[in-house]
Copies of this chain bind each other. A is one copy, B any other.
Amino acid sequence: MTGSDIITLLGADWTGCEDLIRKSLRSDIGLLNSINDASLSNSGKQLRPKLALLTARCLGGTNGDSLHYAAAVELLHNATLFHDDVADSSSLRRGRPTLSALMGPNAAVLVGDYWLARAVDLIIETTHRTDAFKMFSATLSHLAEGEMLQLEKASGADTSEEDYLRIIYCKTASLFETACTTAALSVDAPKELCYAASRFGRATGLAFQIRDDIFDYLDDGQIGKPVGIDLKEQKITLPLLGVLQSAPDEADLRARVRDIPQHPEYVAELRSYVCGHGGIEYAMRRLDDFIGEALEALEAFPASPERDALAEIARYNAIRKV
């Protein structure tokens, strides 16, 4: 099942969600509208609203709140991308120059703030569900905390696998979890199904980020953004952690990460060490574990084409090339 099959399956729910996003972003400032339009036309995989809408349909059928939550999740995700591109000084995103690279960090900060504001607006337009509001609000904090934790750990080069999992939960999996859980809440699903949705979203998000972190060690030029960036910024991700844990010279390797600012040549050295010592395979195994957990959680959902699509998205993390 491809992305466009899922869009066909979602039908009017998908177009309704897209309409909400477009309407919500509409401003009477010309510059802002052109930036928004350019961004919407290069919108990526839109996995999070797909997960949200599929979950809501699976657990009872969408309503206005489901669509609002799904649209808000996608706006929040894009808001963090604008801000990440400032934080990482990234020049490319989805194969195109970032807003930050094109118009400077100031525009990227403001546009990110605007998308975030519009997401909050969509959320408060819904029925007041304390649980859902709390989840969105916690995720907002997590998104900033994950990146801060990464920044804190980077300077000491002492990230453990536990730290890593916490970082990727905060910066990625938390929003996947919120997408699925608030979808379940929007249709007033029973508690155990909300819990299953939460577990599915969390595991799928962790797998997604691990796959992204693996990409940074490959260099097939097909993934639409520069590779080797994480190490350059002293971010210790799962492929490196996999080799560190069994390396006889762990302290030595960590010292190399710490010294990257003075020795940029260590980046290439460390990358080939990781690839030559099973780091990618280690990360792929952990990724498979999380896919397994996601599929297991999904068994609680009633069988339906939507559940199949959710399983497909979870499995897709193992094979995706972008």
Query: Which residue numbers of A lie inside 8 Å of B, CB to CB?
Result: 27, 29-32, 80, 83, 86-89, 105-107, 109-114, 116-118, 120-121, 124, 128, 130, 133-134, 136-138, 140-141, 143-145, 147-149, 151-152
Contact: A116 with B114, CB < 8 Å? Answer: no
Which 6 A/B pairs are nearest by Cβ-Cβ distance? A117-B140, A87-B106, A114-B144, A31-B152, A113-B144, A117-B141
Can you list 28 A-B contacts (CB < 8 A)?
A29-B145, A29-B149, A29-B152, A32-B145, A32-B152, A80-B113, A83-B109, A83-B110, A86-B105, A86-B106, A87-B106, A87-B110, A89-B106, A105-B105, A109-B112, A110-B144, A110-B148, A114-B141, A114-B148, A116-B140, A117-B143, A118-B141, A120-B120, A120-B136, A121-B140, A121-B141, A124-B130, A124-B134
- Residues of B close to A86: CB separation below 8 A: 86, 105-106, 109
Instruction: Point out which of A110, A120, A136 has the most chain B C-beta atoms below 10 A from its C-beta.
Output: A110
A46 to B: closest C-beta gap in Å: 22
Partner of A120, one of B140, B147, B148: B140
Instruction: Point out which of A88, A89, A117, A149 has the most chain B C-beta atoms below 10 A from its C-beta.
Output: A117
The chain B residue with its CB closest to the CB of A82 is: B109
- Residues of B close to A117: CB separation below 8 A: 137, 140-141, 143-144
- Residues of B close to A151: CB separation below 8 A: 31, 106-107, 110
A64 to B: closest C-beta gap in Å: 15
Given contacts A105-B105, A110-B87, A128-B128, are A30 and B144 in contact (CB under 8 A)? no
Given contacts A105-B105, A118-B141, A141-B121, are A31 and B110 in contact (CB under 8 A)? no
A61 to B: closest C-beta gap in Å: 25
- Residues of B close to A128: CB separation below 8 A: 128
- Residues of B close to A110: CB separation below 8 A: 83, 87, 144, 147-148, 151
